Chains A and B, each alone.
Chain A
């Protein structure tokens, strides 16, 4: 399966600031996604990162808060904007070969907002 590198692995940020998380894959993949896992919770899909077009956001997530870039088939970024303590979470990049394939995850970014 693809090797997915995510950075930073962790960060502590002040409220009101923004953080951009990078996801690099070692091979071209069609489908890339960004998930969030809040403390003690399961994973929630934020959006699908579409190459060359705007991301597709899930209910409860908006582009102004979580802008996503996908300039090519191996790279994506997720920005968490104007952060508040409620944004403290693990953010995970993932890829999928096709609709019936499993997801593979990057190592995650552990974000703490103070």
Chain B
């Protein structure tokens, strides 16, 4: 099982749609979780951290389910500018403490 696994997509949605991505992780001792956005030919940029209680930032909502070992990202009212690759990142626990592991990314395309 991969340490961090995402559905690679691609997801093709119309403007205004709601889209959700899931990401599973294998290390139950993982401590912190993040979603990054990467535009084509650019470096990854932090979209949001994921907290145990769930958190929201405008149209974006992130949730963590420790029991099932997955995190999710929900994007409401999609915009054309949301088209990008979304990377799930997990900070490992135990012997991997401090090491961040990246998922393979989920490609989102929002079309008019």
B29 within 8 A of A: no
Q: Are A99 and B103 in contact (CB under 8 A)?
A: no
**Known: A92-B43, A110-B41. Is A100-B31 also a contact (CB below 8 A)?**
yes
B59 an interface residue at 8 Å Cβ cutoff?
no
Q: How far is the CA of A110 from the CA of B103 in the complex (A)?
A: 21
Q: Which residues of chain A have C-beta atoms less than 8 A from B34's C-beta? A: 102
Interface size counted on chain B using CB atoms at 8 A: 22
Q: In the complex, A54→B31 CA distance in Å?
A: 27
If the complex has contacts A42-B102, A45-B99, A92-B43, are A100 and B32 also in contact, measured as CB distance less than 8 A? yes
Among B32, B43, B104, B105, chain A packs the most CB atoms within 10 A around the CB of B43
Name the A residues within 8 Å of B20 (CB-CB): none
B100 to A, closest residue via Cβ: A103
| Closest residue on chain B to residue A103 by CB atoms | B100
Q: Is there a chain B Cβ closer than 8 Å to A15's Cβ?
A: no
Which positions in A face B, CB cutoff 8 Å? 31, 41-45, 92, 96, 99-108, 110
Q: Can you list 29 A-B pairs with a CB-CB distance of less than 8 A?
A: A31-B98, A42-B102, A42-B103, A42-B104, A43-B44, A45-B99, A92-B44, A96-B100, A99-B31, A99-B91, A99-B97, A99-B98, A100-B31, A100-B32, A100-B91, A101-B32, A102-B32, A102-B34, A102-B36, A102-B46, A102-B49, A102-B89, A103-B46, A103-B89, A103-B100, A105-B43, A105-B44, A107-B43, A110-B41
